[in-house]
């Protein structure tokens, strides 16, 4: 599904603003000074007592920036942070767009599917009084299976049947043949129905908190008309703890290279063929008047599960998990796991479905 773009009036406060290096302490191994006002860069707001690393995806020693003199460039960056810091504190990103390079600037934050969507079957047959359902034309997705309860067919991707506060993620329409075998001969009727869901209600991630929504409920990207002016702005990501979530999936979007949609965890892109893309990156794009990309920064946030591994920086392993050892062998460590595990189905929904508040 193609997302709509929302053109905002240029903020009156836009203007050149030199970064105050005293407010952001980028720890080693990132070199200092990391950024200048002549470059297009992405950084974080420092927090006392907390260590973050921001760097190019392929080199921990290089800051996340595109030189103002560079030709057209797409750069992938990673912000490294420890798991409980992300969970409890959230994060504030900040970015600087120098004057003279962007006619328009696009902000496109990360989102993902918290709940697994599906396209329901287009034709079903119900046999009564047993309540058995035969699917004549299958739907799309592992949750497109259906059952019969409370006098109607129900799609497995309709989570509101368990809890009315949960979304219905099953979409599409269907024809139903009902064979009532309680009479002789059996009574056969036909009816039409819709599965009643909205996939947009099944999304999560910062974009759902911060972006305006289109008519279907999907987050819009925001385009600022800069016309070669300077832009300094921040992007605030709420903490998973504040949102009462059970993991850092809401904020941590990192996955292993190659950094492509096809390699992203399933909830980040095309959930089981259900037909609508999410966005696996925090994405910042500089455009010219003709809509051609001048520069693009794509950020991933990687969550680290062990302090000693984080201290090893590029030599560490981010996704260690398991009991800490005596005396904490029975400590399940709710935060001590990879943000995107692969479950038995291999679909990546391990921490996002069936919706244990992720």
Give the model confidence (pLDDT) of 159-193 as tens digits: 998 888 889 999 999 999 999 999 889 899 999 99
Q: What is the mean pLDDT of residues 198-221?
A: 92
Give the N- to C-terminal CA distance of the chain in Å, as an integer: 23
Coil, strand or helix at 271:
helix
Distances (CA, A) of 321 to 186, 255, 303, 318: 58, 16, 12, 9
Whether the predicted pLDDT of 128 surpasses 50: yes
Count how many residues are written for the chain.
358
Q: Which residue has the tokens 């070669």?
A: 228
On average, the pLDDT of the chain sits at 81
**CB-count exposure of residue 248 (10 Å: 0-12, 13-18, 19+):** buried
| Whether the bond into 354 is cis, omega within 30 of 0 | yes
Model pLDDT for residues 46-88, shown as the tens digit of each residue:
999 999 999 999 999 999 999 988 989 999 999 999 988 999 9
Whether the predicted pLDDT of 231 surpasses 80: yes
The fraction of the chain above a pLDDT of 70, given in percent, is 78
Domain locations in the chain as residue ranges: 5-113+205-315, 118-200
Q: What is the mean pLDDT of residues 318-329?
A: 62
pLDDT of residue 261: 81
Phi, psi of 231 (to 5 degrees): -130, 130
At residue 343 the predicted structure's pLDDT band, cuts being 50, 70 and 90, is: very low
Query: Taking the alpha carbons of 254, 301, 30, 230 in that order, is the dihedral positive or negative?
Result: positive
Whether the predicted pLDDT of 123 surpasses 50: yes
Whether the predicted pLDDT of 325 surpasses 70: no
pLDDT of residue 319: 75
Whether the predicted pLDDT of 351 surpasses 80: no
Q: Which residue has the tokens 């949960």?
A: 166
Model pLDDT for residues 292-322, shown as the tens digit of each residue:
999 999 999 998 888 888 999 999 988 776 5
CA distance 237 to 248: 12
Model pLDDT for residues 12-34, shown as the tens digit of each residue:
333 333 333 333 333 444 444 56
Whether the predicted pLDDT of 6 surpasses 90: no
Q: What are the strands of the beta sheet with 132-137, ordered from one edge?
A: 132-137, 123-128, 173-180, 187-194
Q: Which residue has the tokens 């420092």?
A: 46
Coil, strand or helix at 282:
strand
pLDDT of residue 321: 62
Whether the predicted pLDDT of 229 surpasses 70: yes
Total-model pTM: 0.82
């Amino acid at each position: 599904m193609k997302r709509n773009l929302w053109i905002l009036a240029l903020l009156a406060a836009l203007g050149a603003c030199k970064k105050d290096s005293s407010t952001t302490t980028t720890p080693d191994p990132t070199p200092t000074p990391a950024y200048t006002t002549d470059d297009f860069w992405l950084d974080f707001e420092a927090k006392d007592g907390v260590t973050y690393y921001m760097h190019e995806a392929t080199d921990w020693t290089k800051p996340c920036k595109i030189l103002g003199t560079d030709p057209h460039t797409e750069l992938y960056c990673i912000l490294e942070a420890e798991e409980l810091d992300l969970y409890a504190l959230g994060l504030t990103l900040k970015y600087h767009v120098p004057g003279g390079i962007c006619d328009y600037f696009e902000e496109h934050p990360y989102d993902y599917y918290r709940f697994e969507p599906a396209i329901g079957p287009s034709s079903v047959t119900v046999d009564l009084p047993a309540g058995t359902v035969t699917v004549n034309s299958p739907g799309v997705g592992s949750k497109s299976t259906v059952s019969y309860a409370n006098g109607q067919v129900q799609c497995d991707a309709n989570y509101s049947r368990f809890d009315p506060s949960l979304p219905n993620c099953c979409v599409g329409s269907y024809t139903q043949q009902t064979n009532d075998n309680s009479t002789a001969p059996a009574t056969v009727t036909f009816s039409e129905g819709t599965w009643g869901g909205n996939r947009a209600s099944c999304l999560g991630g910062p974009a759902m908190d911060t972006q305006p929504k289109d008519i279907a409920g999907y987050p819009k990207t925001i385009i600022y008309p800069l016309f070669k002016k300077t832009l300094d702005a921040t992007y605030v990501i709420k903490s998973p703890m504040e949102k009462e979530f059970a993991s850092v999936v809401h904020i941590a979007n990192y996955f292993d290279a190659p950094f492509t949609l096809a390699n992203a965890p399933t909830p980040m892109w095309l959930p089981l063929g259900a037909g609508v893309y999410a966005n696996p990156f925090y994405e910042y794009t500089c455009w010219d008047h003709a809509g051609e990309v001048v520069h693009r920064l794509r950020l991933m946030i990687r969550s680290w599960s062990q302090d000693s591994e984080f201290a090893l920086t590029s030599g560490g392993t981010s996704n260690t998990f398991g009991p800490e050892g005596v005396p904490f062998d029975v400590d399940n460590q709710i935060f001590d796991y990879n943000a995107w595990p692969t479950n038995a189905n291999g679909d990546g929904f391990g921490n996002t479905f069936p919706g244990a508040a992720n």
